Amino acid sequence: MSQLKDKGYAIYDYMESLRYDGIEKDYEALLSYFENLPIDDYAPELNRYRRYSRALVLPTSGNIEWLPDVKREGNEYAAYFQGKFNPEHPGSYREFHSIDSDIRDNKLLKKIIMANYHETFWQKEDKIMPIHVGVHFVKLMVDNDEDKAVSSPDCLHQDGEPFTFAHLIERRNVKGGMNAIGIPEVRGKQPEEVDKKDLHEFFEISKPLESYGVDDSAVSHYVGPVMKDSGDDSAVRSVILIDYQLTVVADMDE
């Protein structure tokens, strides 16, 4: 049984497990792309930058098909909805700047998407339909000693998608950014507010493509604020987040 299925979460080193000729070049392309991410329009004061796009994994062929963007005022966006699961944006749609097509075609990104997909588990009848994939590029960056950059939501939480994976692209001059995994019942709380027996693990991802995944129904998870460690350099923590969910078929009898 996989660690993800057994424990509800797992930690990976995809730089090693995905290694192929050219992986360094493909990684550098992803790293460079993070340099100019747009500000998160929904939290411009929180030092968070992001892009987002949606795709389908076709179970029979293993192909990835990117979904169309929303075009508005010369920009392209992708819509994101978490229902009740994000207490900072309950029941609301958000639209993020979409990921450029050349990065969507990045071989390493495609391999990561499929490696994550093969870690997920579904009922046999669920896999006759495409699996929906959300790909977030998120950078937390702090320039000033007194500031911090915060993930959303800033508490132990569940995402609402059955599976979510986080992949570190860069961690530089960072203090903080610690990850925590807890039982589902502690969602909405800070780790320090929770009894230690209800927290499975604290850990830090620090190397390129060091990653973790969660079974959303089994655990809650958290990443702490990012602050500057020392010196004049900015603190930067860049991560690719990838979530997976079913195609929902409407019940016409309800």
Q: Which residue has the tokens 């995994």?
A: 181
Structure-model confidence comparison of residues 184 and 76, the more confident one: 184
Residue 83: pLDDT band (50, 70, 90) is very low
Measured in Å, how far apart are the chain's first and last C-alpha atoms? 37
pLDDT band at 93 (very low <50, low <70, confident <90, very high): low
Quick one: pLDDT band at residue 87, thresholds 50, 70, 90? Answer: very low
Is 70 exceeded by the pLDDT of residue 91? no
The amino acid at residue 18 is L
Between 253 and 19, the higher pLDDT residue: 19
pLDDT of residue 88: 43
Q: Which CATH class is domain 3-246?
A: mainly beta
In whole numbers, what is the pLDDT of the chain averaged over residues? 90
Taking CA atoms, 165 is separated from 162, 193, 237, in Å, by 11, 25, 16
User: In the prediction, which pLDDT does 164 show?
Assistant: 97
CA distance 203 to 185: 20
User: Taking each helix axis from N to C terminus, what angle separates 23-33 and 107-119, rounded to the nearest 10 degrees?
Assistant: 100
Distance CA 205, CA 226 (A): 13
How far apart are the C-alpha atoms of 13 and 208, rounded to whole Å? 8
Tens digits of per-residue pLDDT, 95-132? 889 999 999 999 999 999 999 999 999 988 787 889 99
Task: Report pLDDT for 10.
Answer: 97
Q: Which long-range contacts (CB under 8 A, 24 or more apart) does 64-68 make?
A: 64/110, 64/113, 64/114, 64/133, 65/130, 66/101, 66/104
Rounded distance between C-alpha atoms, residue 186 and residue 184, angstroms: 6
Q: Look at residue 89 and tell me whether its pLDDT is greater than 50.
A: no
The DSSP annotation for 44-93 comes to: TTTTEEEEEEEEEEETTTTEEEEPPPEEETTEEEEEEE-TTS-TTSTT-E
- The identity of residue 154, as a single letter, is D
Specify whether the CB–CB gap between 109 and 103 falls below 8 A: yes
Residue 254 pLDDT > 70, yes or no?
A: no
Nearest Cα neighbor of 206 from 178, 180, 229, 231 is 178
Categorize the per-residue pLDDT at 249 as very low, low, confident or very high, splitting at 50, 70 and 90: low
Q: Where are the domains of the chain?
A: 3-246
Q: What is the pLDDT of residues 129-176, one digit of tens each?
A: 899 999 999 999 999 999 999 888 899 999 989 999 999 999 999 999
Which region among 37-51, 160-174, 239-253 has the lowest average model confidence (pLDDT)? Answer: 239-253
Decide: 170 and 238 in contact? Cβ < 8 Å. Answer: yes
